[in-house]
Amino acid sequence: MPAFAATRTDYVPVDDVSWSRPAAQTLGFDPARLDEAVAYAREHETAWPIDVRGHLERGAFEEAPSNAILGPTKDRGAPNGVILRHGRIAAEWGDTTRIDMTFSVAKSYLSIVAGLAFDRGLFGELDEPANLRGGPLADDSGANPPHHATITWRHLLQQTSEWEGTLWGKPDMVDRNRQIMGRKGAAPKGSFRALAEPGGFWEYNDVRINRLALSLLHLFRKPVAAVFRDLVMDPIGSGPDWRWHGYQNSTVTIDARSMESVSGGGHWGGGIFINARDQARVGLMMLRQGLWNDRRILSESWIERSLEPCSLNPIYGLLWWLNTGRLLYGDASPTSYFAFGAGYHVTWVDPEHDLVAVMRWIKDTDVNGFIQRVMRALV
């Protein structure tokens, strides 16, 4: 049995004001070493400029005209974050109440929304074709290539769908041959790559994730942001100021009502705007296997599915990054998993040590350095 089991509780915070913050040593940390980890996070700030919109327009991800902004943006804040142990605050730095863009953290939140749909029987199994209940997988011009009929929820959630088309004015081609987490494309990003059959190739692609978001909207027949608010954020006591945006052209009509389809990232604006404390709450809900006090938010079976490695990329689950075999971060436990967003935003969930940490605006190459110092602080 892990050493932490004797002291672990199922504590979750009621609100920010009363969130328990005992002395670090009572949570199993060496205070001086924990201070070193916090100082490291403060000192290793992202190279991103304050002007996020300008950074995107100058080609942070794509060159013109593919980089056209479609959704809201916001200037970034300073580094901030929080470390939880046994649900309680062990350390905190910067302004953890500041709302900021989080980019691809939204992908992991889409995985949670898919789990909410699964738990409610809105789709049957991961290997069920997505177009059976999530609306035809056509693009915004109405094109629906024959292979779309075989795209499953698993394919959409594992980034193996090979969906082909244009959505909200962005073609899937913009992210073909994308390089991420050490995986290199065979050609420059945005250049042609012949598509494989669904399930035959792993590729990180924001347009396809936006297509997943639209499918989830069709399942719930209710805005995804509202689903996430009602079934996750309100029950876990989040603040009122977070937002999940789509684009200026991502409104659709369902049941005679106009609804905005959210984005799964912030390359073109939009996505999740949230603070570090609320991100930590979401991470703690995942750590607690979907429970918040005695309320079931998400099923354990969905979380188990979310953390199963993709056969084509063992460090990826259902829109969560995994540390399978410590291939992602050598100093994190192999059971750790992560939500990542460009810039750099990290939610680190470590079930082995009953720990959640959120890092905001840290340099991407220094994440393991922070993890290493946190692990050294455990006693």
Nearest to 268 by CA among 39, 53, 5: 53
Cα–Cα distance, 342 to 102 (Å, whole number):
7
Q: What is the mean pLDDT of residues 283-294?
A: 97
Report the DSSP pairing between strands 291-292 and 295-296: antiparallel
Contacts of 293 (CB under 8 A, 6+ apart): 10, 12
Give the gyration radius of the chain's Cα atoms: 20
pLDDT at position 87: 97
Q: Which two tokens stand for residue 337?
A: 């998993």
Question: Domains (ranges, CATH) in the chain?
Answer: 1-379 (3.40.710.10)
Q: In which band, very low, low, confident or very high, does the pLDDT at 3 lie, cut at 50, 70 and 90?
A: very low
Question: pLDDT tens, 242-274?
Answer: 999 999 999 999 999 999 999 999 999 999 999
Question: What distance in Å separates the CA atoms of residue 35 and residue 48, rounded to the nearest whole number?
Answer: 25
pLDDT band at 304 (very low <50, low <70, confident <90, very high): very high
Taken in order 314, 319, 323, 327, the sign of the CA dihedral is positive
Three-state DSSP class for 378? strand
pLDDT level of residue 9 (50, 70, 90 thresholds):
low
Give Cα 163 distance to the centre of its chain.
Answer: 20
Tens digit of each residue's pLDDT (9 = 90 or more) over 146-176: 999 999 999 999 999 999 999 999 999 999 9
